[in-house]
């Protein structure tokens, strides 16, 4: 199992951070490998992820289920990724159905918010990734190599989104099957991108 833990602090009240991390569009825009997504219902999202290995994009489908929300302090989610044409419905705890045992990567996410002051909040993010089946070794190799850079990219995007206090405007979710990456890319609003860059620059200057 690969475990990752990050802690970030924001100069925002806990309620604002809580609202933004529960905004599926905001979070979708922050996930580096997510090419497209579909909101199934309030607790379930499906998507298409793509990881570059050299010049080759390796694509797989992903399903995530929100397991528990304890506003405004904690949210837990679980999901899985799968190489294949269609995602089978996850089990109640977000896990893959048993027939997918040969090619599954499972993950669990826990985000805890801790108020540091009325106007600042710390977010502790814990991620566990575990692969099963014949592709386990491959999943693990890719995750071990790629996670550090993906983690940094996620943090940058999250900071930009939260600092902007404006949710990025990805294309509207589709009601039907997950579109191909060319049809429904994730994108920021121009205002959001500009403000995000300003915030990043300020962060660097201020250390």
Partner 1 sequence: MMDPSDVIIIGAGHNGLILACYLARAGLKVTVFERRLEAGGGLTTEEITLPGFYHNLHSFFHDLAAVMPAMKDLELERFGVRYLRPPVQVGLPLADGRALVIHGDLEATCHSIARFSERDARAYRDLHQDYAEFIELLVLPALFSPPAAPSHAYAALEKSPQGRRYLQLCRRSPLEVVEDLFESEAVRAAVLFQLAIPRGVLFDYAGLGMLVPLVASHAEQSHVCAGGSHVLAHGLWRCLLASGGALRGVHEVKRILIEDGRAVGVEVMTGTGLQEARAKRAVVSAVDAGQTFLELVGPELLPEDLRARVRQVRLDEFSIFGVHLALKEPPVYSSQAFDPDLAQALKVAVGLEDVSEIQRVFQAVRAGLLPEPGMMFAAVPTRFDPSQAPAGFHTALLWQPAPYALKDGGPERWDRIGEEYADRCLARWASYAPNLPKAILARRVLSPLDIERKLVNMRRGGVFMARTSQDQIEAFRPLPELADYRTPIPGLYLCGACTHPGGGITGGPAFNALQILTEDLNINRWWEQ
Q: Tell me if 148 contacts partner 1 by CB under 8 A.
A: no
Compute how many residues bind partner 1; rule: CB under 8 A.
26
Contact (Cβ atoms closer than 8 angstroms) between residue 134 and residue 102:
yes
- Give SS3 for 23: coil
Q: Tell me if 124 contacts partner 1 by CB under 8 A.
A: no
Residue 1 or 206: the one with the smaller Cβ distance to partner 1 is: 1
**Calculated CA dihedral for residues 39, 174, 163, 118, nearest 10 degrees:** -30
Residue 47, Ramachandran bin (φ over 0: left; ψ between -120 and 50: alpha; else beta): beta
Out of 41, 93, 137, 204, the only residue in the binding site for partner 1 (CB under 8 A) is 137
Q: Near partner 1 by CB under 8 A, which window of 70-78, 135-143, 154-162, 185-193? A: 135-143
In the sheet that holds 103-117, the strands lie side by side as: 2-10, 120-133, 103-117, 74-82, 56-70, 44-53, 34-41
Residue 1 or 205: the one with the smaller Cβ distance to partner 1 is: 1
Q: Tell me if 3 contacts partner 1 by CB under 8 A.
A: no
Per CB under 8 A, contacts with partner 1 among 21-60 are 50, 53-60
Out of 26, 33, 103, 121, the only residue in the binding site for partner 1 (CB under 8 A) is 103
Residue 23 or 130: the one with the smaller Cβ distance to partner 1 is: 130
DSSP state of 171: P
- Report the length, in residues, of the chain: 207
Structure tokens at 193: 């991108």
Residue 115 forms beta bridges with which residues?
121
DSSP state of 80: E
Q: Tell me if 88 contacts partner 1 by CB under 8 A.
A: no
Residue 109 or 178: the one with the smaller Cβ distance to partner 1 is: 178
Q: Which residues are at the interface with partner 1 (CB under 8 A)?
A: 50, 53-60, 83-85, 102-103, 134-138, 140-142, 145-146, 180-181
């Amino acid at each position: 199992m690969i475990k990752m833990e990050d802690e970030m602090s924001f100069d925002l009240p806990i309620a604002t951070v809580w609202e933004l991390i529960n905004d599926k569009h905001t979070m979708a825009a922050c996930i580096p490998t997510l090419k497209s997504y579909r909101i199934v219902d309030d607790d379930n999202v499906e998507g298409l992820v793509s990881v570059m290995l050299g010049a080759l994009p390796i694509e797989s489908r992903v399903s995530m289920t929100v397991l528990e929300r304890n506003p405004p302090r904690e949210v837990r989610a679980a999901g899985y990724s799968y190489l294949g044409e269609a995602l089978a419905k996850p089990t109640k705890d977000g896990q893959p159905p048993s027939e997918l045992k040969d090619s599954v990567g499972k993950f669990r996410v826990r985000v805890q918010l801790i108020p540091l002051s009325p106007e600042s909040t710390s977010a502790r993010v814990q991620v566990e990734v575990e692969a099963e089946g014949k592709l386990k070794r491959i999943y693990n190799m890719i995750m071990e190599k790629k996670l550090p850079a993906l983690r940094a990219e996620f943090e940058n995007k999250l900071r930009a989104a939260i600092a902007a206090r404006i949710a990025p405007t990805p294309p509207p979710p589709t009601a039907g099957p997950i579109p191909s990456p060319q049809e429904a890319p994730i994108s920021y609003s121009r205002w959001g991108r500009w403000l995000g860059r300003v915030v990043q620059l300020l962060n660097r200057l201020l250390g």
